[in-house]
Each structure stands twice: as C-alpha cells, then as structure tokens.
Amino acid sequence: MYPSRFSYEAPRTLGEAIQLLHDGGGDAKVLAGGQSLVPLMKLRFAAPTLIVDINNLPGLAYHQADADGALRIGALTRHADLEHSDLLRASQPTMAAAAPLIADPIVRNRGTLVGSLCHADPQGDWASVVLALGGSVIAQGPAGRRSIPMSAFVSGPFENALAYDEVAVEAVIPAARGTRSGGYLKLERRVGDFATVGVAVAVETAGDVVARAGIALTGVGGATINCEEAAAALTGKPLTADTISAAAGLAAQAARPRTDHRGSAEYKRHMVRTFVERILTNPRHAGNGVTAERAA
C-alpha cells in the first residue's frame, strides 16, 4: 500500500525543525531512521500531512560519556553505532547486550535508539533497557529544553510525553553509583523478530551490596513494564540465591502477558522469571567481553 499524500521538509537546523513541527500543529511527524514510521505510513496507520526529516541536522549522531560518567545518546545515533561501540562494551553491559538483538542488520543501520523510545512500541527493546538504567529523554521545543524521565516518557502503547512541537534530542543514562553489571535477554521466534519476552536488568554494586537496581520487561504487557518491586527486592542487599529468586518472582508477577500464537501467558511469565535469574546469576560486568546472545 502507498502512504497518503504528505509534504516533506528536511531542515538544516534544530530551530527550523521545531518551527516546522509547531506550524504543522500536530499533523507533522519527525522522521529519524524511518524504520517504524514508514511502515506505519504505508499501512496508513499513520497519515501525517508533513514529514520533518531530521537526518540533515548537525551534531545529533553521537554517544559519549560526560566527565561524571553519564552517557548521552544523540537522536541520530543508529542501533548499529551502539552495537559496534567500544564505549558501550566497556561501560554499559545492559545496553551492549541489547544492541545486537534489535531487529536485523538492515534495520539497525538506519533505526535510532531515540526513535525507538519515541515510537513507544511495547515490543521495543530500548525502552526497557533505558527504563532499567533509570534514563531520561531530553526534549527541545519552542519553550526550550526539558528532561523527561523514561518512567514518565511512555504514556501508553505508541504514545509518548512529547508535545507535538518538541524534538527528542538525546537520551541520557545517569552515571552508575557503583560497579555496573546486568544484561538483556530476548526470546524471539526467529532472529530479527520482535520480542516474545524481553528482560533488561541493570545493577550497580558498591562493595557486595546492590546500590541501585532496575528491571524492565519488553513484550509482556500493553506497555514496557517497570518492575519496581523486583528492583527494590535487590537494593541494599547482596546478590544471593535468595535475593535473586525473590526479584525474579516479583518480576514474573509484574508481567502482564497474553496467550497468543507465540506462547501461553504462563510460559511467557515463566520466561521472565528464568531470564531475570539467568542475568543476575551470571551478569555481564562493565568491561567484560560482549557477544550477541539470543535466547534459545
């Protein structure tokens, strides 16, 4: 199917992009990697009258650490940039584990992390990862910049907290309060599929004790699920068989899976528990070798 008729603009400054969105009055859409927007337009699930292509905007293709260790990922950073990033491999085990599991190489070459957050697909992998890491999205609009915590950024399935005339310019992962470890595991029917079940775990340990933990789920509910109780079960405690089992059980309880052609709700809930246990029992640490790991 062909998309419905639309106008196309490719501004060269962020200010111009914001003005175009503002003038579009809610009928305009940002185009980043186009890996979600274009299929939706072809199916006519989305019919914007104006496309604002941000690919010509300078200075948005970066991922870099601040002096304090916070990580900033610009709006034009592609999944593939993150998949091949030495910085992520050295310092962000959960992100490094997830990056090779997004879609397939063709999609990863064009799609962006920030675009994935904006798209707010309950089956999007990055939203869980950024949520587990306590990250946020920086939005810029006519009134200036604001930071939106990831926990408030997704307002529902395929809905985000941006105003119609705001561009998400970057995602920010805060500095770790201790040594980072964690991982991302994804159950998929075939390589390149969206998650049947995805689990992101991010832990920061000071000494033997967990200083901060985040656990978030992909594909097992109407939106990305933040397992706050499961994370709280780890915080302030050492990682032991008992604390891991308690957290895994609470994460499984937080899941809201539905029975469908990819498996029963019971099976998916079981996989959440298994993945949380598996990651926490054998986490990747900041700095260890990272290889793509798809769940069998």
Ligand X SMILES: Cc1cc2nc3c(=O)[nH]c(=O)nc-3n(C[C@H](O)[C@H](O)[C@H](O)COP(=O)(O)OP(=O)(O)OC[C@H]3O[C@@H](n4cnc5c(N)ncnc54)[C@H](O)[C@@H]3O)c2cc1C
* String of DSSP letters for the chain: -PPPP-EEE--SSHHHHHHHHHHHTTSEEEESS-TTHHHHHHTTS---SEEEE-TT-TT---EEE-TTS-EEEETT-BHHHHHT-HHHHHH-HHHHHHGGGSS-HHHHHH-BHHHHHHHT-TT-HHHHHHHHTT-EEEEEETTEEEEEEHHHHEEETTEES--TT-EEEEEEEPPPSSEEEEEEEEE-SSTTPPPSEEEEEEEEEETTEEEEEEEEEESSSSS-EE-HHHHHTTTTSB--HHHHHHHHHHHHHH-----BTTB-HHHHHHHHHHHHHHHHHS-EETTS--------
Query: Which is nearer to ligand X, 81 or 277 (by Cβ)?
Result: 81
Residue ranges binding ligand X (CB under 6 A): 29-37, 39, 75, 102-103, 107, 111-112, 114-116, 118-119, 124-126, 162, 167-168, 194
Query: Which is nearer to ligand X, 29 or 278 (by Cβ)?
Result: 29
| Smallest separation, CB 5 to ligand X (Å) | 18
| Smallest separation, CB 197 to ligand X (Å) | 12
Query: Which is nearer to ligand X, 29 or 269 (by Cβ)?
Result: 29
| Smallest separation, CB 178 to ligand X (Å) | 28
| Smallest separation, CB 40 to ligand X (Å) | 8
Query: Which is nearer to ligand X, 35 or 91 (by Cβ)?
Result: 35
Query: Which is nearer to ligand X, 167 or 271 (by Cβ)?
Result: 167
| Smallest separation, CB 209 to ligand X (Å) | 32
Which residue's Cβ has the minimum distance to ligand X?
111
